[in-house]
Amino acid sequence: MNSTIAGPATEPRPAFWYGLPDGYVRLSLHPSLERVENLAAQVRALPDAVRERAESAFRFYAGILTLFNDQEAQGCAIGLHPDGEGGISFSVLTVSTVPVTGVDPKLVLAGLLGTSGERPPGETLTPVELPCGLGFLSETERRTTAPGRPPEGADGPPQGTVWQGTVALTGAGTPDIIVVQLVTAAVELAADYRDVLLGTAATLTFSDPAHPEGREEEDPPGWAPAGGTVRDIFG
């Protein structure tokens, strides 16, 4: 299953489509071996002063690709937006699928509300109406590994707090649960990022936007494979 609108003729037909907000750049989750080898060669050719940091970033990138592929990730995008104080806020938006075997995925989603009392403290779960159907929004703040070197004398890597928003939904076009998730360390901008998350989820469709009602037409105005369909609330 592929969530992009267009691709090689040998790829399976996408089961769903979605748009990305302004300010987000899609990452390739399946880079070619040649591309990875070229990137590794460029890292090895760097001066000693920066090679160690670049090699660390390269290993992190490789680990993230493995993790996303293990978790059935269909797409990942990095967002950079002004934070209102002259700086830049960073976020990661992912779209993935959760296979549901032998059970109606709509029943699984409906059961989420019944188990809301079992969720971790501080995590909220709210039903949301989306153009493609009913979804559920989960929000939480959690501690996780932060980028950078650990403080001198620390036993482990540095820790930081992130806001994590997740929308889970399904539809007639797929037997799976689709998960749209946004994570950012800019916890103070959680309300804005919630709007970005819900806006992205609202673009998700199980009907090919390039060929509505089965007609061979040009892509609808304002739709693009990798973005442009969600208003950038950061300006």
With respect to residue 233, please indicate whether it lies within any of the assigned structural domains. Answer: no
In a domain, 12, yes or no: no
Domain containing residue 100: CATH number? 3.40.1000
Residue 19 lies in a domain: no
Q: How far is residue 148 CA from its own chain's centroid?
A: 22
Q: Provide the residue range defining the domain that includes 81.
A: 24-150+158-205
Residue 220 lies in a domain: no
In a domain, 135, yes or no: yes
Q: Which of 62-71, 72-81, 142-151 has the highest mean pLDDT?
A: 72-81
Which pLDDT band holds residue 200 (cuts at 50, 70, 90)?
very high
DSSP string, 90-114: EEEEEEEEE---SS-HHHHHHHHHH
pTM of the model: 0.71
Q: Would you say residue 130 lies in a domain?
A: yes
Does residue 217 lie in a domain region? no
Higher pLDDT, 58 or 205: 205
Number of domains, the chain: 1
Instruction: Please report whether residue 230 resides in a domain.
Output: no
